[in-house]
A = this chain, B = another copy of it.
Amino acid sequence: MTRLWNDPQRFVDEMIDGFALANAGYVRKVRGGVTRSTRSPEPGPSLVIGGGSGHYPAFAGLVGPGLAHGAAMGNLFASPSTTQIESVIRASDRGDGVLLSYGNYAGDVLNFTAAQEAVRADGIDCRTVLVTDDIFSAPPDARDTRRGIAGDLTVFKIAGAAAEEGRSLDEVERVARQGNERTRSMGVAFTGCTLPGADEPLFSVPEGRMAVGLGIHGEPGIDETDIPTAEGLAELFVEHLLSPGEIPDGVTIDGARCVPILNGLGSVKSEELFVVYRSLALLLGERGVTLVDPQVGEFCTSFDMAGASLTLLWVDDELEGLWTAAADTPAFRRGS
């Protein structure tokens, strides 16, 4: 439940103000979102990400050296408008083209595509790599219609690192696409979340039950079960994410290297995630998977929804290097 706001209508504007004030070293507010506060002197392609608000640290928390150049910030759980995206693209462009990357949702696709068309008309080389990691949103043979959830982070990080290295837009686009090819996620939830000023949660799960495969905007889950133990949840994640149809081309489970991202959606706390992670590490280890640089925490939330997701990024040498490269943003920092 959201409690702290002044006027629900002004919530997102005031949130962006506060975010930009608290992170003035990283970001600068522009119409429709934020861009980096410091422009790097070298030219190169820019990475613009974005989507609805309410998923912090996605998207604005990921703007900074080694990651995104700008983030378009929509209303709560609503895609930014075409005009907002266009404005962020223009503010982030460094003259060598722009890669747009965001989760595959109808609203975002419509608005980002319209914005892309508008800036292309002005000669900006603007491309798109959609994130389609949520295995519960379509069968493997319709992978490109899947929606994007916490796997956003892997694609953004890979693209951002490549841009930071000074690679060309072609290259940044290629590795981002490869990152998305290699990323799979699934989520579960125990409660819905209530937006500022709303009387009711966006959806609800019966007490003691767990929705399986739900989206990060309160889109209903595909299935419902009793709440499992922490170990049971780890087994469920591994069973689905290691099912044959979900192993990317070129990957053999036994001997593979994989970055696990165990993501809390809002009210499931780190302590619980660590208990789940313990079982995950055991189960994946038993299958011969080497876990690289695990991430346990909040990376793509759904306000205060109680839930969790697991993302697996199956790395090759190139992707591992890009994933582990330095980054310095409000919410994602790592040394080189």
Contact = CB atoms under 8 A, between A and B. Distances in A.
B11 A269 contact: no
Interface in A35-56: 53-54, 56
A331 B304 CA distance: 20
Interface in A1-49: 1-6, 11, 14-19, 21-23, 25
A323 to B, nearest CB: 14
Contacts of A303: 269, 271
Given A333-B334, A335-B328, A274 B18 contact: yes
A258 B62 CA distance: 26
Interface string A279-291: 1010000000000
Greatest chain B CB density within 10 A among A14, A274, A277, A333 is at: A274
Count this chain's copies in the assembly: 2
A273 B57 CA distance: 13
A299 B118 CA distance: 42
A231 interface: yes
Given A22-B277, A267-B267, A6 B56 contact: no
A311 to B, nearest CB: 14
A124 interface: no
A19 B274 contact: yes
A219 to B, nearest CB: 19
B2 A272 contact: yes
B268 A3 contact: yes
A221 to B, nearest CB: 15
Interface string A288-301: 00000111110001
A60 B269 CA distance: 14
A4 to B, nearest CB: 4
A331 to B, nearest CB: 8
A16 B328 CA distance: 27
13 contacts: A4-B268, A4-B273, A5-B275, A14-B274, A18-B274, A18-B296, A21-B278, A21-B294, A22-B296, A54-B271, A56-B271, A57-B270, A266-B269
The 4 closest A-B pairs by CB, nearest first: A18-B274, A18-B278, A4-B272, A18-B277
